[in-house]
A and B are shown apart, each in its own frame.
Chain A
Amino acid sequence: MKLNIKSLNYATILTIFLIVVFTIWGELSKSFKTFLVNLTGHHWVTKGISSLVFFIIIYFLVLRFVKDRPDSISQVTYTVIVVILAGVIIFGFYLWHLFL
């Protein structure tokens, strides 16, 4: 299997985005958190499994439409920026949530 770095980058970025959305949405919406709990018995387990499944799906989906190019590697910079922002957002959210 030939690895498609562009596809992996998209999968990583979108999975990080999914984790942030699930995290914040889960805290702000009791019904969504209950939905996550009902899927596997624990909201965090659901987040973990769904992010893994999502990552795999996105990788193979993007693979069908996007060709890997020599300059695809430059997109790793965007991945790094997204990860740092996502970490700050999650930390900031919980800090804000504590003082609510």
Chain B
Amino acid sequence: MAGYKLLIAIHASAGISAIFAFLLVFVELLHPREKSVNRAKIFSLLGTMLIFVSWLAGGYYYVTYYGSYIKPVIKEGPTPWIHGVIMETKEHVFLFLPFLSILASSIIFKFDANLLKNNKAKLSVSLLSALIVLIGLTIAAMGYLISAASRTTGLL
């Protein structure tokens, strides 16, 4: 049980940290200066790695524990839609994030210092980072609902 709680902790904290990392990318590009691009590179790489960590930890928990112990109880309980709509949406929309983060990071590394001069590239990275943050926050909120429903099972 403690092992599964640790997995959720890693999944959630890595996810939230990834959101924060891409928020920092967005902020760095609002009024970029010389060192902004280097910082954006670091934050985007960190954010991408954290998304993969969150994916692995959450995925392992989902496959080995959630499906067998939590899901059946939520589906039989007063809020079956927490699994049927919220969890199902979360587990599939989450899969968008690794690719969005790879794309955003790649643009930063490709354009490098030219990001300061190329407004289209800068806007693209800002748009992608904002999207990653918004999806991440939505997923985090969904995770909170699922955790709350899980706690009513007494198994978490």
Contact B99 A44 (CB under 8 A): no
Q: A interface, how many residues as a size bin?
A: 35 or more
Given contacts A73-B124, A94-B84, contact A44 B62 (CB under 8 A): yes
Contact B85 A91 (CB under 8 A): yes
Given contacts A44-B91, A73-B121, contact A87 B128 (CB under 8 A): no
Contact B95 A19 (CB under 8 A): yes
Complex Cα gap A12–B101 (Å): 10
Given contacts A42-B63, A90-B92, A98-B81, contact A9 B120 (CB under 8 A): no
Residues of A within 8 A of B102 (CB): 8, 12, 55
Contact B88 A94 (CB under 8 A): yes
Complex Cα gap A87–B136 (Å): 12
Contact A55 B95 (CB under 8 A): no
Contact A8 B103 (CB under 8 A): yes
Is A33 an interface position by the 8 A CB rule?
no
The smallest C-beta distance from A64 to any residue of chain B, in angstroms, reads 18
The smallest C-beta distance from B106 to any residue of chain A, in angstroms, reads 5
Residues of B within 8 A of A77 (CB): 124, 127
Complex Cα gap A71–B100 (Å): 19
Q: B interface, how many residues as a size bin?
A: 20 to 34
Is A67 an interface position by the 8 A CB rule?
no
Closest residue of chain B to A27, judged by CB? B88
Residues of A within 8 A of B81 (CB): 98
Closest residue of chain B to A18, judged by CB? B95
Residues of A within 8 A of B91 (CB): 44
Residues of B within 8 A of A80 (CB): 127-128, 131
Is B46 an interface position by the 8 A CB rule?
no
Residues of B within 8 A of A95 (CB): 85
Interface string of B62-80 (1 = CB under 8 A from A): 1100010000000000001
Knowing that A8-B103, A15-B99, A94-B84 touch, tell me 18 more A-B residue pairs with CB under 8 angstroms: A5-B107, A5-B110, A12-B103, A45-B63, A47-B92, A52-B98, A73-B120, A74-B124, A77-B124, A79-B100, A79-B103, A79-B128, A83-B100, A83-B131, A86-B93, A86-B96, A87-B135, A97-B84
- B residues with a Cβ closer than 8 A to A are 55, 59, 62-63, 67, 80-81, 84-85, 88-89, 91-93, 95-96, 98-100, 102-103, 106-107, 109-110, 118, 120-121, 124, 127-128, 131, 135
